[in-house]
Structure 1
Amino acid sequence: MTARYVLTSACLHSGTMSLIQPLRVYLRGKDRVVLRDEEGETYQVEVNWQLGRLEGLGPYYAKRRLGVNDRIVLHLEGETIGLEALAPSARPIRVRPPEGPKPQAEPPAEKRVRVTPYPKEVIFPHQPLPLEVPAFSADLEALGLVRESSGAPWVFRASLGRRTFYLALAKLGELPARELLAYRQQGRAEYAGLVAGESARQEALAEIAALRPSGLAQAGLVYLSPEALQRLVRLRRRFPVGPLDLERLLREGRVDLEAVQRLEDEVFGVLHERGHFSAVLTLLADQPPQQVFLLADLMPMAREMGLEADQLQSILENLCSPPFLLLKRLSPGEFLMRQSVEQALSDWAEYARVMLGRLQGVSLRP
């Protein structure tokens, strides 16, 4: 027996595969299973019944260089599941063997003279040395904040249209936590915090805790780790997170890897829904224009993609509305395919191009 599976961005990010109906039947009662790819390489994967997915497929996805909406044929026979990627780009990456070292002529010996420059403070004794801007400043600026100070506390401004908030930060040991707290209490910043690596988190939290009797929020100080800010920047490349998302974490008292992981889980839930939208477009690509079809006609393949009837119904209803207008709803569960998916995508791209041109024209007006 075979089944087809369409990859989503959530699958690729987590290295998982949803337990579509054929897999649920085949794997009933199993907690682990062996998968074998086209070249005979095997993968031991976990069957997570609670989350409804197979876990541990990341190495296979990377090896075959698979992308969103690429398809995999599952051969459900015997003790192992056969994997066959249908994507045209799914080819193993072949690494050229390293070449042997090439003989090189020995360079002639050079006489080097080492010159030690005068320290800047000796040449310009009355000019203060500029403070080094911390690395976390670039990450906060990448998230949409603007740095407004040239020394500790490092103050950042976040403009959110109708309101603005300020964030004052100092590295652990750079300023006493009490000075940061006073900076906030004077109304010069809505949030103030200590920045320290994840390995020094407990030390930073202990310094914050010493300022209040109980409860992190009562102190008015937050803890931030550079690793968490870097992870937020990487997340922004996939999804438009910004100052408002950061402020939500600041209100919770910590911007560390655990807090960012919770935000990532929410974001990838949204990306998973976008993957469902792409999967439905893939289903509709087989429907000719100006033909009537029923939701029930799509359900067998939809279930193989991990879609339930209510999810499919919701996406089809959205495709009936502007700006999509790909479908026309005739009756509950009955739709008319107005045009092909390829033509619709071309029309949507043209709409986006024209709209972008209008917006650029508005922004150029005096």
Structure 2
Amino acid sequence: MTARYVLTSACLTSGTMNLTQSLRVFLQGRDKIVLRDEDGETYDACVNWQHNRLEGLAPYYAKRRLGVNDKIALHLEGGEIGLEALTPSAKPARPRSTESERPRPQPAEPLPEKPEKRVKVTPYPKEVIFPHKPATSEVPAFSADLEVLGFSRESSSAPWVFRAAMGRRTFHLALAKFGEMEAKELLSYRQQGRVQYAAIVVGESSKAEALAEIATVRPSGLLQVGLGYVSPEALQRLAKLRSAFPVGPLDIERLLREGRIDLEAIQGLENEISKVLHERGHFSAVLTLLADQRPQQVFLLADLMPMAREMNLEADHLQEVLQSLSSPPFLLLKRLSPGEFLMRQSVEQALADWAEYAQVMSRRLQGVLQDW
């Protein structure tokens, strides 16, 4: 199977590659992988599932002299990943030579000039928009949290612009740390249509100062101003939350529309996720109850209720899960009448069948990705 990957500045800076859908399927269950380049040279890479990225690509990026927007073909075969730079300007490093083979320098001959490297520029160069700011600066810590949440960084200085690509929907977010640039300047970036959202990044203890700064632009409220604030503490918690539930850019956008992302604002999202995880727990509890039922045995909802109450399961929760288990793709039960079910097979056998179904679908998806 072959996939393509487009490099971002974040990838080049950290020597990493985000885990795309094809990479996640291929690397499932692995923590380490061997990378092999066009010359047969191998690199040991680590799969960082927590940060959703493949680490250890810095030597290859340096060897091929890759830049932003350069493309790499990934050949996902066997126990390793083949790397192939698709950008014509990418060149391999000069081959090594032994001391005896190395020619002695000739003083009379000038050293050859380095080939000019082609550089791609964005439609709005930072030097033109913000001439008083340096071309590059240290990448802020919140950038890593946003990348975990599905964003890609597209700038190398303030304002820090992040892109959320969601298929048919895409939006850009401009951020600047409190005091890094004036609120009016950051707001103009949004008003000119370059981004859909703009916000000041400020710690939880300094939110009042940030609100005062926003009020100097237009004292009519966050939603009317179009400039909000984001706390790094909230982003850190959302990034950690993603390890238990797939939080993504759409959830972040909903918070941005409200004008703030802080610990108080994300409580509602945390409550929603907690409810979903609680329902997943109900599903597991009902499977535990059904494990005592024999195949082809008829039982009533009332037969399960005494044990269900001990597991803090209400009758409506039990009924909903039993109904789901009677429908595709589970088909563990057959509903005979209201409150009456037939146990088609054992829970153990059903779990094995579901696992096989998941593996078949995974192989089918790999075939689709390969054709693509």
Partner residue, 1:357 = 363
Partner residue, 2:259 = 253
2:231 to 218, 225, 235: 225
Q: CA deviation at 1:213?
A: 2.7
Letter in 1 for 2:363: G
User: In 1, distance between residues paired with 2:173 and 2:306?
Assistant: 52
Partner residue, 1:88 = none
Letter in 1 for 2:341: F
Matched, 1:147 2:153: yes
Matched, 1:286 2:292: yes
Partner residue, 2:112 = none
Deviation string, structure 1 residues 128-174 (Cα, Å, up to 9, x no partner): 78410111111111100111111111101111211211000100111
Matched, 1:133 2:139: yes
Moved over 2 A (4+): none
User: In 2, distance between residues paired with 1:272 and 1:171?
Assistant: 37
Q: CA deviation at 1:210?
A: 2.1
Unaligned 5+ runs, structure 2: 1-133
User: In 2, distance between residues paired with 1:273 and 1:358?
Assistant: 29
Partner residue, 1:169 = 175
Matched, 1:271 2:248: no
Partner residue, 2:219 = 213
Question: Pairwise CA RMSD of aligned residues?
Answer: 1.1
Partner residue, 2:335 = 329
Letter in 1 for 2:295: P
User: In 2, distance between residues paired with 1:317 and 1:195?
Assistant: 46
Deviation string, structure 1 residues 36-77 (Cα, Å, up to 9, x no partner): xxxxxxxxxxxxxxxxxxxxxxxxxxxxxxxxxxxxxxxxxx
User: In 1, distance between residues paired with 2:276 and 2:200?
Assistant: 31
Deviation string, structure 1 residues 3-54 (Cα, Å, up to 9, x no partner): xxxxxxxxxxxxxxxxxxxxxxxxxxxxxxxxxxxxxxxxxxxxxxxxxxxx
Secondary structure, counterpart of 1:328 in structure 2: strand
Give me the TM-score of the superposition, normalised by structure 2.
Answer: 0.63
Residues 1-366 of structure 1: pairs in structure 2 closer than 5 A: 130-366=136-372
Secondary structure, counterpart of 1:167 in structure 2: strand
Give me the TM-score of the superposition, normalised by structure 1.
Answer: 0.64
Percent identity, aligned pairs only?
76
Instruction: Determine if contact 2:286/2:321 at 8 Å carries over to the other structure.
Output: yes
Q: CA deviation at 1:364?
A: 1.4
Secondary structure, counterpart of 2:355 in structure 1: helix
Secondary structure, counterpart of 1:194 in structure 2: strand
Letter in 2 for 1:286: D
User: In 1, distance between residues paired with 2:363 and 2:228?
Assistant: 43
User: In 2, distance between residues paired with 1:289 and 1:163?
Assistant: 47
Q: CA deviation at 1:337?
A: 0.3
Change (3 A) 1:151 1:241: same
Instruction: Determine if contact 2:222/2:259 at 8 Å carries over to the other structure.
Output: yes
The alignment of Structure 1 onto Structure 2 pairs a total of residues equal to 239
Deviation string, structure 1 residues 101-152 (Cα, Å, up to 9, x no partner): xxxxxxxxxxxxxxxxxxxxxxxxxxx7841011111111110011111111
Q: CA deviation at 1:283?
A: 0.3
Secondary structure, counterpart of 1:258 in structure 2: coil
Letter in 1 for 2:215: A
User: In 1, distance between residues paired with 2:209 and 2:135?
Assistant: 30
Instruction: Determine if contact 2:285/2:311 at 8 Å carries over to the other structure.
Output: yes
User: In 2, distance between residues paired with 1:204 and 1:260?
Assistant: 18
User: In 2, distance between residues paired with 1:316 and 1:152?
Assistant: 53
Q: CA deviation at 1:360?
A: 1.2
Q: CA deviation at 1:296?
A: 0.4
Q: CA deviation at 1:191?
A: 0.2
